[in-house]
C-alpha cells in the first residue's frame, strides 16, 4: 500500500511512559492501515537496554509482526535484526524509536548510516514515530542541556522545525526552548506535553492527538526577538468522560 | 607521564574472579587511593557492566565512579572536562568501537580524553576500550571484523581477543600487510600492553598462556610477528581477597567526617 511520508512525534507517552494507556500506540498502529503491521523498535537512545526491548515486545508482539534493531550488540546474535538493515527497515509499516539520550542516538545512527536509511523509509511511506529522544531526532534541531548552558543538537532533519518534548513536565526545558527561539539560536518549532503527539504528513503538521485529555501542544515562532507561543488544537483519542450528574 | 594500558581482553567484565589486570591498572597510579572513572559507552552504558565495575573497585583502594553518557543530565548538569581531568585513571569498557567513538565525538569527549592523556591521566581499557587509543584497530561493530580508525594517541594499530575471537587476527594481518593499518600489536584475552609516552614498555598477563605480538609487514606481502613475552602477574588467578585493614579504617574515618 502507498502511504505519504509521516512522522508522529510524541512529547512523551506510549508504552515506555504510560503503561496501561494504549491510545498513542494504537493510533500509530492505525496509521499504517494494515491489519497486522510490521513494527520495528529502535532503542538506540537507551543504549539498547534489554529491559526496554522486552517491554516493546510485551506491548506489540501479539498485535504486530515485531522486531528490534540493536546497534550495540550486532556481533552477539542477540535476536535483533542482523545483516541487511536497510532492507529490513524498508519492509516495515511502522518504525518506533525509543527515548533516552538524543546526542548518543545521533552519534550512533550516523556511525552506521541509520539516519539516511530512515530518511529513505520515510519517503517510501514507512510511518516513523517515537517519544522524547525518539521524537527530537526527526527535527532539524533541539536543545540539550547536559553540561551547563543549553546547546543546540542537530537531528536527522526530516522536519524543518525545532522540537521540545515533555513541555509541561519539565517547565525549565520549555523556558529555555522559548528563549533559544527568541534569540534565533533555534528555528521556530513545536512544544509537546507528555501524552501529546504531533502528526506530520510530509513536513507539515496535520494534527495533534493526545492520550490525556489535558495534554497540550503549541507552535513557537521567533518574531522580532520574541518567542510567540500559539496553542494548537488537539484531538483526544479516548472516549470523553461523561460528567456525573450532581 | 603519558600512560596507556591496552588489554586484549580481561579485567572485571571478562574475568570477574581474576583481579590481576584490574589491580595492575590501579598500581599504575602513584596515588594511594586513585580516582578511577569507568566509561561504559561502547556497551551502551548497561547496568550489569556498571554494577560489575563497582563490585570490583568499590572496596579496593580507590575512588570509583562511572560516566554514563546515555543518562547524562538526569542528576543535573555534568561538566565532562572537569570530571575527566579530575581523574587519575580512566577505564574504558568493551563493545562497539564505532559507536563509542561516534558518541564520544557528539559530546566532545574525544578531545577531552586526548587532553587528559597529555596531562598524565592514565588511560586503560579492553577491546574497543584498548584499540580506541591507536591509529586503528579491527572492530566487529557491524557483525564482521573490519579495520576501523581510532583516536590516534598512539601511532600504530592494535587487534584484541587474538585467541578468544580468532576471526579478527587474519583481518588484522591482511590490513597490516597491505598498509590499510599501520604496523602494530595483537593481544590475547588476559594480556595487557603498557605504553609510556608513545612507546611500548612491557606486556603483562592474568593468564599463564596469554600472548601478544608486534606485527609488521614482512616486505613480501605478508606480516612478521614478534612475540612480546608478557609478565605473568602475581595476583593472577586469585579469586578471593580481603580489603586491607588500613583501607577499611580510612573509609570509616572518611565516612565519619562526612556524616
> Bridge partners of B200?
B195
Mapping DSSP to helix (H, G, I), strand (E, B) and coil, where does residue A75 land? coil
User: Closest Cα of chain B to A169: distance in Å?
Assistant: 14
The active-site residue, picked from B38, B66, B161, B214, is: B161
Q: What average pLDDT does this structure show over A74-79?
A: 59
pLDDT for A77 equals 53
Q: What is the DSSP string of B190-230?
A: TEEEEEETTEEEEEEESSTT--EEEEEE-SSSSEEEEE--P
Does the pLDDT at position B136 exceed 60?
A: yes
Quick one: closest CA in A to B69, which residue? A104
Q: State the Cα–Cα distance between residues A98 and A86, nearest whole angstrom.
A: 19
Q: Which of A16-20, B146-150, B249-253 has the highest mean pLDDT?
A: B146-150
Does the pLDDT at position A243 exceed 70?
A: no
pTM, entire model:
0.90
pLDDT band at A148; cut points 50, 70, 90? low
Other CB atoms within 10 Å distance of the CB of residue B221:
9
Cell triple for A69: 534493531
Q: What average pLDDT does this structure show over B187-207?
A: 97
Quick one: closest CA in A to B43, which residue? A72
Write the pLDDT tens digit of every residue in A170-193: 888 899 999 999 999 999 999 999
Q: Which parts of chain A fold into alpha helices (H)? A: 23-31, 50-60, 85-90, 102-112, 114-123, 133-136, 171-182
Q: State the Cα–Cα distance between residues A142 and A85, nearest whole angstrom.
A: 27
The active-site residue, picked from A16, A132, A135, A162, is: A132
> Could you tell me the sign of the dihedral formed by the alpha carbons of B41, B43, B46, B51, in that order?
negative
pLDDT band at B91; cut points 50, 70, 90? very high
Q: What share of chain B is helix, strand, coil (3-state, %, to 5)?
A: 30, 30, 40
Write the pLDDT tens digit of every residue in B215-257: 999 999 999 999 999 999 987 777 666 666 776 676 667 666 6
By DSSP bridging, strand B154-159 and strand A94-97 are: unpaired
Cell triple for A174: 520549555
Write the pLDDT tens digit of every residue in A95-123: 999 999 999 999 999 999 999 999 999 99
Amino acid at each position: 500500500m502507498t502511504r505519504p511520508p509521516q512522522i508522529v512525534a510524541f512529547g512523551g507517552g506510549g508504552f515506555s511512559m504510560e503503561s496501561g494507556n494504549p491510545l498513542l500506540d494504537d493510533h500509530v498502529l492505525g496509521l499504517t492501515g494494515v491489519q497486522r503491521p510490521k513494527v520495528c523498535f529502535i532503542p538506540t537512545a537507551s543504549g539498547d537496554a534489554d529491559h526496554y526491548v522486552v517491554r516493546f515486545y510485551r506491548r506489540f508482539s501479539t498485535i504486530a509482526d515485531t522486531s528490534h534493531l540493536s546497534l550495540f550488540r550486532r556481533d552477539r546474535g542477540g535476536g535483533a535484526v542482523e545483516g541487511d538493515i536497510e532492507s529490513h527497515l524498508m519492509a516495515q509499516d511502522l518504525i518506533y524509536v525509543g527515548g533516552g539520550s538524543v546526542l548518543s542516538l545521533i552519534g550512533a545512527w550516523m556511525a552506521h548510516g541509520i539516519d539516511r536509511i530512515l530518511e529513505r523509509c520515510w519517503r517510501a511511506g514507512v510511518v516513523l514515530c517515537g517519544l522524547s529522544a525518539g521524537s527530537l531526532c526527526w527535527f532539524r534541531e533541539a536543545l540539550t542541556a547536559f553540561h551547563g548552558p543549553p546547546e543546540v543538537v542537530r537531528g536527522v532533519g526530516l522536519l524543518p522545525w525545532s522540537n521540545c518534548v515533555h513541555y509541561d513536565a519539565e517547565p525549565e526545558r520549555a523556558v529555555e526552548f522559548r528563549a533559544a527561539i527568541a534569540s534565533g539560536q533555534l528555528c521556530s518549532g513545536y512544544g509537546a506535553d507528555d501524552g501529546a503527539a504531533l502528526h506530520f504528513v510530509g513536513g507539515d503538521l496535520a494534527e495533534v492527538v493526545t492520550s490525556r485529555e489535558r495534554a497540550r501542544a503549541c507552535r513557537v515562532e521567533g518574531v522580532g526577538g520574541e518567542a510567540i507561543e500559539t496553542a494548537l488544537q488537539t484531538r483526544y483519542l479516548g472516549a470523553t468522560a461523561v460528567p456525573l450528574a450532581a | 607521564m603519558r600512560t596507556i594500558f591496552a588489554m586484549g581482553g580481561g579485567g572485571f567484565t571478562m574475568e570477574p574472579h581474576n583481579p590481576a589486570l584490574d589491580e595492575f591498572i590501579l598500581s599504575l597510579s602513584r596515588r594511594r587511593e586513585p580516582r578511577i572513572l569507568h566509561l561504559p559507552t561502547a556497551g551502551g552504558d548497561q547496568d550489569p557492566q556498571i554494577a560489575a565495575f563497582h563490585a570490583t573497585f568499590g572496596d579496593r583502594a580507590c575512588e570509583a565512579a562511572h560516566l554514563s553518557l546515555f543518562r547524562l543530565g538526569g542528576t543535573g548538569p555534568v561538566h565532562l572536562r572537569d570530571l575527566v581531568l579530575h581523574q587519575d585513571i580512566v577505564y574504558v569498557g568493551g563493545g562497539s568501537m564505532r559507536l563509542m567513538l561516534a558518541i564520544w565525538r557528539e559530546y566532545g569527549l574525544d578531545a577531552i580524553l586526548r587532553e587528559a592523556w597529555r596531562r598524565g591521566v592514565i588511560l586503560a581499557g579492553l577491546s574497543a576500550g584498548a584499540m580506541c587509543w591507536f591509529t586503528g584497530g579491527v572492530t566487529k561493530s557491524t557483525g564482521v571484523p573490519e579495520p576501523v580508525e581510532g583516536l590516534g594517541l598512539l601511532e600504530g594499530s592494535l587487534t584484541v581477543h587474538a585467541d578468544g575471537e580468532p576471526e579478527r587476527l587474519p583481518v588484522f594481518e591482511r590490513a597490516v600487510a597491505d598498509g590499510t593499518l599501520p604496523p602494530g600489536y595483537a593481544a590475547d584475552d588476559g594480556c595487557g600492553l603498557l605504553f609510556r609516552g608513545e612507546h611500548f614498555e612491557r606486556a603483562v598477563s592474568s593468564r599463564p598462556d596469554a600472548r601478544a605480538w608486534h606485527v609488521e609487514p614482512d616486505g613480501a606481502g605478508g606480516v612478521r610477528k614478534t612475540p612480546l613475552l608478557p609478565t605473568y602477574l602475581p595476583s593472577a588467578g586469585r579469586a578471593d581477597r580481603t580489603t586491607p585493614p588500613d583501607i577499611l579504617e580510612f573509609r570509616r574515618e572518611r565516612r565519619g567526617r562526612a556524616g
